Chain A
Amino acid sequence: MKKSWWKTGPLSVLLATAVIAGCSSQTANQTTQPKTDEAGKTSNTLVVSSLIDPDTLDLHKTTWLGNENGLLYEPLLSRDTSGKIIPGLAEKYEISPDGKTWTFTIRKNIRFHTGNPVTAAAVKESFDRMLEISPVKGIVGPIEKVEATDEQTLKVHFSKPFSPFINVVISGMVSPVDTKAAKELGDGFGDKPSGTGPIQFEKRERGASLLFKKNPEYNWGPEYVANKGPLHIDNVLFRFLKDDDTRMMEFKKGTIHVLHDVPANSVAELQSLPGVDIQKTMDIGIKYIAFNNKHPLFSDVRLRKAVALSVDRDPLVQVALNGFGKPIYGPLAPTIFGYSEAIENKAKQMYTRNVAESKQLLADAGWTDTNNDGIVDKDGKPLSVEILVSQQPAFTRAAQILQSQLREAGIDLKITVQEMTTIKDRISKKSYDMALMYYGWYDADILFLIFEKSNAESRMHYTRPELDDLLNKGREASSEEERIRIYEQAQEILLNDSPWVPLWVNEVVTATRGIKGFGLNSYTQYFILNDVTLDK
């Protein structure tokens, strides 16, 4: 789940292997943890292997939103499996002509897990709490105020038009939270959350597992599922298994029903197992090389382009991802609103690997191989740069391939594997050359979040006023066509300046076994559990 790009995987850690993995931390009473030895058959529990133990289940306090905490809450709007916007808790919505006021009509007869009714006033309270305490409130846009005009009508007023808001709503970031319960429980709300989702909280074993039970009141399932009522399964158990081998083995052994984000090199193996169902969806983000654009070397666009031109994306995808991905040359993934085929084609033309051109660019910048050691040099110094990589196997593999590719252009690449925390820290302090990074978000507004000047401070340190203008306009423009046009222009600038090197889009592979009716909404990246039944 890459719902919040700023937190995608930052908990990924020192050890890609298994740090947060594992099962229970309780010692004595294991009674509440359903027996999973026979894949939960006896207790009617769906067991999901999950990578990330969310920091908190309180939607307004979390910096990470995924199935693990997001399924507790039901969004106001959603998309169906073809990408069409469909009602969620809001029957319908309307945007005022000036684009500054969004009006939602809340469905009747909906209750939070506590039994508290969901009214327009309650949703307003939820918005207010979000705007007050959420560490990531910046992402919801310039909201001025929220008001409930009657039982069912909710109005969200913006100071400026903010088109990406539709995707904020769909992402679940502003789904209604039971603020009444939150007030009663105070800090304890995170341990006893209440929303309107199909599952409700049962038990948590930090670092090990999260157990949910079905919401018996639930009857507001989305249009595209057969079962709009309560789930068929009684419980959903997320087991936090960080280590790839561990989760693979657990799955193969049959102790897990749903293996999300299957390690690329294991997909073929799983496909050959009987009874295993594989689903693939394209990720809503890309992996890229981030340059330090303020670095003495990479402030020169020729060097950035030289690097970009020495990269061959096919082996990256084929070897590092075992083919489960797609090379990407332009800034946006095809799954993101704002993606343009024209841009992608142009980018492909500009940046398909060309070592000769790369060498030429280096030579133009004064870098040539004078001592015939295969590495270009200037003033007696070889061109040696460091790339920061987090310890995900696919990343470290990719880095090694990049290393050999850049070498052919005469660039010596040193790989440093560090924790994401440290990498981000070094990036924001500009003490880096290059880093292998990623983002994930539903809307082209991601470019604003990465490149707009205040954001660029903590990222690639690349600023272009024209780009800022375009990215601001993109937020305010109300028609989709207009927005697409604006983002095309913005992407053109990025292509020419090459402040980064987009590499690939992941194909997210989910393997299931011993269950039926499991789905994955590729537009929202949420699991569809409504129709899931366990095999007998």
Chain B
Amino acid sequence: MNNSRHMSYWSGIRKRLQRNKTAMAGAIILLVFTLGSLLAPVIAPHPVEQMNFDQRLAAPSSTHLLGTDDFGRDIFSRLLHGGRISLLMGLITVVLSTTIGVTLGIIAGYYRRLDLFIMQGMDILMSLPALLLAIAVIAVLGPGLANAMIAVVIAVIPSYVRVVRSAVLSIREKEYIEAVRALGIRDWQILLKHILPNIMSPIIVLSTIQFGVSILAAAALSFLGLGAQPPMPEWGAMVFVGKSFLSQAWWMSIFPGMAIMLVVLGFNLLGDGLRDALDPKTR
């Protein structure tokens, strides 16, 4: 019975999502980009790292849909492959920061004694501007895609902890949790079975939004030369390289930048839609 109630809960959300134009628009954008990057090796018209010195800085044409870069590499193919980097990076970052952030948030919210320490730590992290914190982390670890991800994770964890903690705090005091606790059920079971499912909505919404935020942050780091290393077709790095060719080959920077914007927009749209669908208050 419990199960069926759950089912209808989720299917209700699905229906609401499907009716939500915003969410669908976001989902479609993301679907296109995901497919594009998954199928990159198949659909990319040119090998991604193939240099072609005769075709340098070629304008968009039928052979090179979005033009070529300073090595004569096909921008469209690079964008498709770059999507893999950005999406994967976003995914890993979100999974990591969600896991760590949610764990810390639940602990802080549930075990009041640890709360002070965790929140003090978060306050310290949050008292530094996120991007500067990320740059400092990279200064220590050295540049590179993996380190950029770690930096982004560290920078976004506090926002998870805050959201999760306050959600846990509000649920913790509910009668049914009291009741369950009175039954002598162990803490971790309460956390896993009773508290976690009840705070899923804010976590899902936050993760969707953070997906976009992480991609944006990682792109910014790559733009500063701290993330992806050449010749990786990372979008932020492509904008950075294209920057030097703005007057000769605008397509080198405009298209990768647009790709970043669209993907992030996709996540934001989806996140908005999810928020509407998951939050009964907005109904």
Binding site for B on A (CB under 8 A): 14-17, 244-245, 248-249, 252, 263, 265-266, 269, 315, 318-319, 391, 393, 396-397, 399-401, 403-404, 414-418, 422
Contact B230 A415 (CB under 8 A): yes
User: Chain B 114-152, CB within 8 Å of chain A: the 1/0 string?
Assistant: 000000000000000000000000000011100000000
**A18 shortest CB reach to chain B, Å:** 10
**A281 shortest CB reach to chain B, Å:** 23
Q: Which residues of A contact B49 (CB under 8 A)?
A: 404
Contact A269 B71 (CB under 8 A): no
* B39 close to chain A: CB less than 8 A: no
Contact B71 A319 (CB under 8 A): yes
**B181 shortest CB reach to chain A, Å:** 52
In the bound complex, CA of A318 to CA of B70 (Å)? 11
**Contact for B53 among A249, A319, A416, CB less than 8 A:** A319
Contact A415 B231 (CB under 8 A): yes
In the bound complex, CA of A315 to CA of B224 (Å)? 27
Contact B230 A396 (CB under 8 A): yes
* B3 close to chain A: CB less than 8 A: no
**Can you list 23 contacts pairing A with B, beta carbon distance less than 8 Å?**
A15-B225, A245-B244, A252-B247, A263-B244, A265-B245, A266-B247, A269-B248, A315-B53, A319-B71, A391-B225, A396-B230, A397-B70, A397-B71, A399-B230, A400-B230, A415-B229, A415-B230, A415-B231, A416-B143, A416-B229, A417-B143, A417-B229, A418-B142
* B206 close to chain A: CB less than 8 A: no
Contact A248 B229 (CB under 8 A): no
Residue of B nearest to A13 (CB): B225
Contact A403 B243 (CB under 8 A): no
Q: Which 3 A-B pairs have the closest CB atoms?
A: A400-B231, A391-B225, A396-B230
Contact B53 A318 (CB under 8 A): yes
* B64 close to chain A: CB less than 8 A: no
Contact A16 B225 (CB under 8 A): yes
Q: Which residues of A contact B243 (CB under 8 A)?
A: 17, 245
Contact A248 B247 (CB under 8 A): yes
Q: Which residues of A contact B53 (CB under 8 A)?
A: 315, 318-319
Tell whether A244 pairs with B225 under 8 Å between CB atoms, given A401-B51, A403-B231: no
In the bound complex, CA of A404 to CA of B245 (Å)? 22
Query: How extensive is the interface on chain B, given as a class?
Result: 20 to 34
Tell whether A269 pairs with B225 under 8 Å between CB atoms, given A417-B230, A422-B142: no
* B56 close to chain A: CB less than 8 A: yes
* B246 close to chain A: CB less than 8 A: yes
**A140 shortest CB reach to chain B, Å:** 35
Contact B70 A265 (CB under 8 A): yes
Contact B244 A244 (CB under 8 A): yes
Q: Which residues of B contact A417 (CB under 8 A)?
A: 143, 225, 229-230
**B56 shortest CB reach to chain A, Å:** 7
Q: Which residues of A contact B265 (CB under 8 A)?
A: none
Contact B248 A401 (CB under 8 A): no
**B272 shortest CB reach to chain A, Å:** 34
Q: Name B's interface SS.
A: loop
Tell whether A15 pairs with B224 under 8 Å between CB atoms, given A393-B244, A415-B231, A417-B230: yes
Contact A14 B224 (CB under 8 A): yes
In the bound complex, CA of A412 to CA of B281 (Å)? 56
Tell whether A319 pairs with B230 under 8 Å between CB atoms, given A263-B244, A393-B241: no
Residue of A nearest to B248 (CB): A269
* B110 close to chain A: CB less than 8 A: no
* B251 close to chain A: CB less than 8 A: no
Q: Which residues of A contact B142 (CB under 8 A)?
A: 416, 418, 422
Q: Which of A252, A269, A393, A414 has the most CB of B within 10 A?
A: A393
**A128 shortest CB reach to chain B, Å:** 40
In the bound complex, CA of A404 to CA of B229 (Å)? 15
Contact A400 B143 (CB under 8 A): no
Q: Which residues of B contact A416 (CB under 8 A)?
A: 142-144, 229
Residue of A nearest to B135 (CB): A14
User: Chain B 70-94, CB within 8 Å of chain A: the 1/0 string?
Assistant: 1100000000000000000000000
Q: Which residues of A contact B241 (CB under 8 A)?
A: 393, 396
**B97 shortest CB reach to chain A, Å:** 25
**B258 shortest CB reach to chain A, Å:** 19
Residue of B nearest to A314 (CB): B53
In the bound complex, CA of A278 to CA of B281 (Å)? 68
Residue of A nearest to B224 (CB): A15
In the bound complex, CA of A400 to CA of B71 (Å)? 9
- Chain B, range 33-64, C-beta contacts under 8 Å to A: 49, 51, 53, 56
In the bound complex, CA of A359 to CA of B56 (Å)? 29
Q: Which residues of B contact A245 (CB under 8 A)?
A: 243-244, 246
Q: Which residues of B contact A249 (CB under 8 A)?
A: 247
* B226 close to chain A: CB less than 8 A: yes
**A198 shortest CB reach to chain B, Å:** 34
**A242 shortest CB reach to chain B, Å:** 12
User: Chain B 221-254, CB within 8 Å of chain A: the 1/0 string?
Assistant: 0001110011100000000110111111000000
Q: Which residues of B contact A415 (CB under 8 A)?
A: 229-231
